[in-house]
Structure 1
Amino acid sequence: MLAVLQKTKDGYVARFETLNWSINGEDRVRFELYSESDGCRLVLFEKINKMTGDTPKDLAGWHVCLDVIKALLDDRIVDSREKEWEKWYKEYSLLVENFDYS
């Protein structure tokens, strides 16, 4: 894990590179945390080098993870992560299927 703190005029910005994966080493996932007056902002970046059959699965998984984080911060729980994943998997499958690669 790589953590970089930068001092800004409004406080500190923390960037955490938490995960790099792929067969060819080119796909990346990065989380960034930014200080805000009422807490912090979490930003997720995913660089996908090549769309595969796993891409909609991965996107649905990240979507559910972020929904769970939001729910926990709002003092709620997600009743069924699996059902949420299935819903988002269908949506992302359609988006990836219709994605223009040109």
Structure 2
Amino acid sequence: MQKKYQKISATSGIMTFDLELNSEISKVWDLIATTKGFAQWFPELSIGEPGVDGLILFDFGNGEYEEMTITVYEPQSILEYTWDKNMVRFELVGQDNKIKLRFTEEINEKTTHTPRDISGWHMCLEKIQGILEGKEVSFTEDEFLALFDEYQALMN
């Protein structure tokens, strides 16, 4: 996985991850854009309504949900939605069984929590790759903390 952080200002930037996947585009799309797919790598998320102006729901586990608006929805290609004050985007490019997945988070308001979110996305992307390769992927707390330290340093 390749990663890049582009600092725009002290409080904003763009984090990008690129993955090469050996899978059919439809399988990758199902993982990143359906409730059944989310359940495998980010079970707190579900699709409320697909399509532009549709909703992604984040389940806090206490009966409360945060609604995130889908801003771009191009089946088998792009899914973009709000993530608090930021924007996340999944882009798929490729053919046959060679797919490039680019994940981007446009960080409009960097907070002390932002490196935690980016660490979480890093782990989610590794889980997606593992699912497609038939491998179990899990992380220890120490591994998460190492990622957090890495992204905190990268973003400062």
Q: 1:49 to 1:69 in 2, by over 3 A?
A: same
The answer to whether residue 123 in structure 2 is matched with residue 64 in structure 1 is yes
Shift of 1:57: 0.3
Paired residues of 2:119 and 2:151 also in contact (CA < 8 A)? yes
The answer to whether residue 96 in structure 2 is matched with residue 37 in structure 1 is yes
One-letter amino acid of the structure 2 residue matched with residue 95 of structure 1:
L
Runs of 4+ in 1 over 6 A off after TM superposition: none
For these two proteins, the number of residue pairs brought into alignment is 86
Greater percentage in strand: 2
Aligned-CA RMSD value: 2.1
Identity of aligned residues (%): 33
Gaps of 5+ in 1: 6-12
Instruction: With the length of structure 1 as denominator, give the TM-score of the two structures.
Output: 0.68
Gaps of 5+ in 2: 1-49, 52-72
Paired residues of 2:127 and 2:138 also in contact (CA < 8 A)? no
Structure 1 stretch displaced more, 65-74 or 37-46: 37-46
Q: 1:91 to 1:64 in 2, by over 3 A?
A: same
Larger radius of gyration: 1
Q: 1:70 to 1:95 in 2, by over 3 A?
A: same
Instruction: Report what 1:20 is aligned to.
Output: 82
